[in-house]
């Protein structure tokens, strides 16, 4: 499963990129606003930090303007992935852009039928929002299971990008279901490394090592 980080904070992206485990970045208008940075400038900087796809979201809602915005964004770098909302015009834009070889991430997906439409529109990624689904009394992971089943039934190439990830259990469930990608805030990715028994084990080994009086270097 590929790991994308869901942020527009440069330091957090640089930090995770240094682990060698980061496959891409997702942003959205709220994350850009939170960063306080200029959209074009920060997106360009992010594209230079990772080799993989960097999702940049268009904000227009009508097809002609969506295409114009996509035209501006896709010139930023080769690894820009245009993020479009799951609407009729969004999927029209998806179809046109993917036909031209541009990566497209269809966002704000909350049903398996929506995911089916996105795949038919040639989306590179479909982003079902599991956390927001859970928040509204549904089971976000049931949605991922349904989409996996449908995509496998028809051999769709669209990758399932599990979004709105809130905790490490979402990551585990996504991996068990066989999602292609997950995008999570930096804290959740850092939490994946942690286990209390790992810390306790290191502590015990170092205490015993100190008793030997030896050093490796």
Which spans of this chain sit near ligand E4P (rule: CB under 6 A)?
6, 26, 28, 107, 127, 129, 131-132, 163-164, 183
Closest CB to ligand E4P among residues 7, 102:
7
Residue 138: CA atoms inside 13 Å, Cβ hemisphere, count?
15
Closest CB to ligand E4P among residues 137, 213:
137
Whole-number minimum distance, CB 82 to ligand E4P, in Å? 13
Closest CB to ligand E4P among residues 117, 163:
163
Kindly name the residue from 2, 34, 75, 83 that is annotated as catalytic: 83
Q: Is 83 a catalytic residue?
A: yes
Whole-number minimum distance, CB 6 to ligand E4P, in Å? 5
Whole-number minimum distance, CB 127 to ligand E4P, in Å? 5
Catalytic residues: 83
């Amino acid at each position: 499963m590929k790991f994308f980080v869901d942020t527009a904070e440069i330091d957090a992206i640089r930090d995770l990129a240094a682990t060698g485990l980061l496959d891409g970045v997702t942003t959205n208008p709220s994350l850009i606003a939170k960063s306080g940075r200029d959209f074009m400038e920060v997106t360009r900087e992010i594209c230079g930090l990772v080799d993989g796809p960097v999702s940049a979201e268009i904000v227009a809602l009508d097809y002609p303007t969506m295409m114009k915005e996509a035209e501006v964004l896709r010139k930023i770098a080769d690894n820009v992935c245009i993020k479009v909302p799951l609407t009729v015009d969004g999927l029209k834009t998806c179809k046109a852009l993917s036909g031209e070889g541009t990566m497209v991430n269809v966002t704000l997906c909350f049903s398996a039928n929506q995911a089916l439409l996105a795949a038919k529109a040639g989306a590179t990624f479909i982003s079902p929002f599991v956390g927001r689904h859970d928040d509204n009394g549904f089971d976000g992971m049931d949605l991922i299971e349904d989409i996996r089943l449908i995509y496998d039934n028809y051999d769709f190439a669209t990758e399932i990008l599990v979004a709105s990830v809130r905790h490490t259990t979402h990551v585990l469930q996504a991996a068990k279901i066989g999602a292609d990608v997950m995008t999570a805030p930096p804290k959740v990715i850092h939490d994946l490394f942690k286990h209390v028994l790992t810390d306790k084990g290191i502590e015990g080994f170092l205490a015993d090592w100190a008793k030997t009086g030896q050093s490796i270097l």
